[in-house]
Structure 1
Amino acid sequence: MRVLVVEDDEEMARTVAVGLRRAQMAVDVAFDGPDGLERALCHDYDVIVLDRDLPGMHGDAVCSELIAAGNRSRVLMLTAAATAEDLVDGLGLGADDYLPKPFDFPVLIARVGALARRAHPAVPPVLLHGDLVVDTARRTARRGERPLELAPKEFGVLEVLLAAEGRAVPAEELLGRVWDEAADPFTSAVKITISRLRAKLGNPPVIETVAKRGYRI
């Protein structure tokens, strides 16, 4: 799951990013409206956490531009105002959810997770393949009765592969969906993560390498 946080309060932005990363999400951060819009249009985010009161370009305008461009990311709008009128305005602009500040962090994580499951295409809360069970809401996985202790990137790769429903997923797509923008596109991170994931999943193997096409379950 890949998330963009657009928040001009740098301390809050970094705090939110750290918390989302601990919840096994890949997170990029922007501190103003123009930078947030540019990143949102350049990368395929599942969810955009968008502050409404941004410098350079108001959050309302960012949201409107994303809708006009056909961007498919889900938008969670944050605001210091909490009136019914603000809520109606935010949702009317195309935001998918609305959260007033201050907020409880577990609520933010739950909202982001719920929006991600409604992203393109919708991902069910529990993904199944044989005896492999991945709970995308609780961020847990097990094979049979054995819990799987997965690192965030391992969980993310497994989630994307299961959601692909048998389609071979290129390494470039996995890198774009599970890693943040700091990832080196020429790195072997995907290959290494797949190898570790296979070892943790055990036998019989469930991840197949498809020549020149990527990986699939």
Structure 2
Amino acid sequence: MTQPVSPPRDSSTAKVSQAQPPAWRGLMARADVRTLSLLGVLAVLVLIGGITKPDEFLDTRNLQLVLTQASVIGVVTVGMTFVIVSGGIDLSVGAIVALASVWATTVATQEYGFAGILFTAVVVGVGCGLVNGVLIAYGAMVPFIATLAMLASARGLALQITDGKTQIVTVPSVLDLGERDAYVLGIPPLVLVFAVVTVIGWLVLNRTTFG
């Protein structure tokens, strides 16, 4: 009995099929275009600042100050990431930060030192977030409405506490955080806090069942 003979295999076709795509294509395919575009904008801004004001913008002290100011917003964005990836929205984060800040720096709170300020800020933030969560999860309120109401409430309460005046911090341990002696390898403490919060947020989102 005659066995069917398969056609000869083209060696050039086999080589083409076995060829692997360049590594840079796989990297670009996995990269988020939006993230890369944001990094590009940041690089352009740094370049403009370095060209127009090199002595001032690229000064070590100025870069440390920029990183410190960005760290405050950065910590908030880590929490907002959890809200956004779950399809929610929170309009009250800025007002809650303001309320926690002014409540934690009242004269009565500062009498308890650094621990009192830190504890008050955390309790105020957690309390406001808990109210938002209960209203949305169990009160069936739309997140936009619930957080908008919290925004107005927190802003009004912060204004009531301060009476429209600037809060002055007098606790030495808090003021020392801004001194160069508190820097670790030239990195301000607030930047280190932001880095730790970012790492924890990344681990929770990528290495836990909850995330």
TM-score (norm 1): 0.25
State which structure, 1 or 2, has the greater radius of gyration over its C-alpha atoms.
2
Greater relative contact order (Cα < 8 A, sep 6+):
2
TM-score (norm 2): 0.26
More strand by share: 1
